[in-house]
Structure 1
Amino acid sequence: MSNLLIISGAPSPAAPTGLVVSHVSAVLQAAGHHVSLLDVRALPTLSLLTEDLRDPEISAAVSSLLSADGVVVASPVYRAAYSGLVKALLDLLPKKALRGRAVLPLATGGSQGFLVAMDYALHPLLATKGADQVVRGEFVLDRNVGTPGAAALLDAAADRFTSALTPRLRKVS
């Protein structure tokens, strides 16, 4: 169906954000989408932080994002801010890189108070990269990851994301 990219700012696959990414990836694959994972922590740190687009891994990461029909951005929230890994990756992109692509923000954190990070930190960052089709995302408390309630929220978010992909795919065909 469509080519989707999940950007994960999780510190490890077993971290709450990593588990959320795994769940959403499985849901999107079951819906027939081709899903690729961009694990930001696996990129070469020096090249990422110095924005070295000549590094083959960094160049491939940017290319995969630019060729995706839709992008899921998943980040842990620390001290009411998204992951520096996610910020470093998005800083590599051209200004309007996300224009015309459905974008689903997902976040995890230890306190409900960190929910504001999505609206006041992550959304503005996505907007600076041209995101004009940001789907309502989800914030999942760390302690709720893996529960049926969290799974239902993530399933609904994946459905909203899939629905937002349809107009773009019609334009391309």
Structure 2
Amino acid sequence: MTKAILINGGNSVSSRLTGVEQYIANNLTAKGIEVETIQVHQLPAEDLITANYKSEAIAAEIVKVGAADIVVFLTPIYKGSYTGILKTFIDLLPQKGLEGKQVFPVAIGGSIAHLLALEYSLKPVLSILGATNIDCPIYIVDSQVARIEGGFTLDETATARIDNVFSTVSGVKVGV
């Protein structure tokens, strides 16, 4: 079975980014893909900040990334770039830890002005980690995600963008 890992680099599970994460998880699950999420902010902060490769908690999450066929990096955009929270986790990934994986950068920001942040800040870092199959980045403006009782809802523009990018993903491994 195809496995996906969603790496949420936000600072709260109640943020709109979680609504995007949940929509993507549901999209992948509907395709028969096994999905798991890493909430980076919930990992031991000291281990992240000090790049403690010996941390059992961190090592367990790195193993999950290694076992995944699909890796989705989710981040809010602050000051024109992805979060330091996400960066602390990315720094712990092995040098070629994304090699052979389908990688999806996804961001949410306050305005369309930061649309290119994924292109100039996150994609180059992911390619250094061996990602050669980086799919079209998805940028969503936070006004496209609304909080509703019990969760979130995304507007049609946001869901269409996500659906379009993930349309080629299937739960069937190539060559299996």
Query: TM-score scaled by structure 2?
Result: 0.90
Instruction: Give me the CA root mean square deviation.
Output: 1.4
| 2:113 match | 113
1:83 aligns with 2:83: yes
**3-state SS of the aligned residue for 2:106?**
strand
User: Residue 104 of structure 1 aligns to a residue in which SS?
Assistant: strand
Q: Considering fraction of residues, name the structure with more helix.
A: 1
- List alignment gaps of at least 5 residues for structure 1: none
Letter in 1 for 2:158: A
Q: Which residue of 1 aligns with 2:150?
A: none
Structure 1, 150-159 or 53-62: larger mean CA deviation? 150-159
- 1:121 is displaced (CA, Å) by 0.1
CA drift of 1:137 comes to 2.0
Residue 157 of structure 1 corresponds to: 165
User: Percent same amino acid among aligned pairs?
Assistant: 31
Question: Matched residue pairs, number?
Answer: 168
Superposed counterparts of 1:21-36, under 5 Å: 21-36=21-36
Amino acid at match of 1:46: E
Q: Which letter does structure 2 place at the counterpart of 1:82? A: Y
SS of alignment partner, residue 81 of structure 1: coil
Residue 6 (structure 2) pairs with residue 2 (structure 1): no
Moved over 4 A (4+): none
Output the CA distance in 1 between the equivalents of 2:24 and 2:42: 20
SS in 2 for 1:170: coil
Matched, 1:20 2:20: yes
Query: Tell me, what secondary structure is at the counterpart of 2:131?
Result: coil
Question: What stretches of structure 2 of length at least 5 have no aligned partner?
Answer: 146-153
Alpha-carbon separation, structure 2, partners of 1:85 and 1:70: 21
**1:70 aligned partner:** 70
